[in-house]
Structure 1
């Protein structure tokens, strides 16, 4: 504020502003660069602007920041993902994605029909469902059953072999389940054959035979042939019975042992093994040849 003074006539008078005494004032009240009282830095800046070489004159600030291009046009952002592909490749990628989604939907539907209670759809398309699901995608509920499996079942086999001298020799019992277990133990990617072939074959035989070990119906005879082919193949491959002669008959048995209950359980079970011994089966010529191959 200007300093107010009182003159001799008693009237108030004001001193002039310091800037007014030191030079002319610019448009916004700022001192002009060429005024006598301006500092040297302001004079140099004013000279630069006047010559048109400063940042405002050349527009370098906007160019360096990448805000706009010359002429005021904004540079578009680069595309990413599918948008970066050409229309042809976007069409191919979309088609591949549609195929994957369709296959996943069909697979989930087939598995659902195989697990769901029997209904009109599952009965009408039973063959298609079984062909899709079994054996690779088989599901079951044994883990959640009221009485899950609490036994270890081992399938064993022995054979009668006729040697070159005409004498028939009987081999010892071979534990085929133990061989499968040894092949699976420590194997990150065990084969489906090692895990399920022998086990499923024995389950199939047990459900198609009576307590007297006699087959029930056509499926019983089929299960015997299936198990017989498996054991002959395994004998010739693992035991090398070819050195002894020709396999004429085989006998299969199961050894079942109850799983020991945990320490905190009060349940008492017998851990003595129980055997189920099947009668001797005669090996046919085609089964012997299949085992040799």
Structure 2
């Protein structure tokens, strides 16, 4: 009869009983694997099995096997990373993750924003107001386009309506596709007849444009009045008068009164030693000289256009002035 040793494991029937130390190590490793993956279970005592003693010699006593105790594991085990060939970590169940998530906000029933929050009458009023604003804006843009565009069929038929809409609040001093841009320097001069104790005398011509230029030069923030008041007023006058100084409608008379008041406003800044009875305006036009690299030959001699004498009235005086021309 073979005894239980290493040779018996090799030459026996293949069912050799392990030694006590080997058997205890196998049981501990099996218990360790069970503790990693088994769910919650009560402690169970497993009695030794008789089948393990079948290969032991009949003459020898069977070794006693200790009881194996299986410990309960935690409810949600999160085992550490196992070595190669071991068990993969068990992720937490969906029920645990769902408990950690905050509930999604639920919008209030029937909540509305914008115009939808208004009552039907207010919605109708808002829609009508927006429609009117849009139509007025589109019409205004169309009027400006016709005003600055070259002469065409529409401007010839409806030019008066376009001018009444634009002038004077939305007036433009430029044109689209201008074939001949302005190449002239225009200056406005004024002189007056002053009546004093010594009699009547005529003052020399004074350049109003030169005074504006003097106020602008060296000024980093020149005013809009200094830059455009005189120039726009003169353009307004020319656009509503012919070469014989005849006014074209009511705007012609309005432009004439504007130029008289503007001239008196500038003259009131000077002391002529008497009362201004009459004033006269003229324009001086000089063509801009051609650049040195150009072969164009132009005359730079000034040309003058004098307006008739205007009698000064109380309505032409600046606000707060006492007496005509003082």
Contact residue 19 and residue 31 of structure 1 kept, 8 A = no
* Whole-angstrom CA distance in 2 between matches of 1:234 and 1:159: 13
- 2:75 paired with 1:75: no
Contact residue 255 and residue 276 of structure 1 kept, 8 A = yes
Residues 38-63 of structure 1: per-residue CA shift (max 9 Å, x gap) = 6x9x53757xxxxxxxx979x78546
TM-score, length basis structure 1: 0.61
Indicate the residue corresponding to 1:167 in structure 2. 199
Residue 22 of structure 1: which of 13, 28, 31 is its match?
A: 31
Residue 200 of structure 1, CA deviation: 2.8
Indicate the residue corresponding to 2:278 in structure 1. 249
Q: What SS does the aligned partner of 1:43 have?
A: coil
Residues 256-276 of structure 1: per-residue CA shift (max 9 Å, x gap) = 22224445444454444x131
* Cα 1:189–1:143 shift into 2, 3 Å: farther
* Cα 1:281–1:226 shift into 2, 3 Å: farther
* Whole-angstrom CA distance in 1 between matches of 2:223 and 2:98: 61
Residue 132 of structure 1, CA deviation: 1.4
Structure 1 stretches lacking a partner, 5+ long? 47-54, 69-73
The residue correspondences of 1:3-82 to structure 2 (distance < 5 A) are: 8-9=12-13, 21-22=30-31, 30-34=37-41, 36=69, 42-43=73-74, 45=76, 61-62=97-98, 65-68=101-104, 75-76=106-107, 82=113
Residue 187 of structure 2: which of 131, 137, 154 is its match?
A: 154
Larger radius of gyration: 2
Residue 306 of structure 2: which of 250, 264, 278 is its match?
A: 278
Residue 236 of structure 2: which of 187, 190, 200 is its match?
A: 200
What number of residue pairs does the alignment pair up? Answer: 254
* Cα 1:168–1:101 shift into 2, 3 Å: same
* Whole-angstrom CA distance in 1 between matches of 2:307 and 2:75: 115
Residue 290 of structure 1: which of 315, 322, 325 is its match?
A: 315
Residue 291 of structure 1, CA deviation: 1.5
Compare 145-154 and 187-196 and name the one that shifted more.
Answer: 187-196
Structure 2 stretches lacking a partner, 5+ long? 1-8, 16-22, 44-68, 78-91, 320-326
* Cα 1:23–1:234 shift into 2, 3 Å: closer
Contact residue 150 and residue 177 of structure 2 kept, 8 A = no
TM-score, length basis structure 2: 0.56
* Whole-angstrom CA distance in 1 between matches of 2:230 and 2:262: 12
* Whole-angstrom CA distance in 2 between matches of 1:270 and 1:279: 24
Of Structure 1 and Structure 2, the greater helix share is in 1
Q: What SS does the aligned partner of 1:169 have?
A: strand
Contact residue 236 and residue 242 of structure 1 kept, 8 A = no
Residue 244 of structure 1, CA deviation: 3.2
* Whole-angstrom CA distance in 2 between matches of 1:128 and 1:167: 50
Residues 51-96 of structure 1: per-residue CA shift (max 9 Å, x gap) = xxxx979x7854653344xxxxx5239x999549832598376555
- 2:237 paired with 1:237: no
* Cα 1:182–1:137 shift into 2, 3 Å: farther
Residue 153 of structure 1, CA deviation: 0.5
* Cα 1:222–1:33 shift into 2, 3 Å: closer
Contact residue 180 and residue 195 of structure 1 kept, 8 A = no
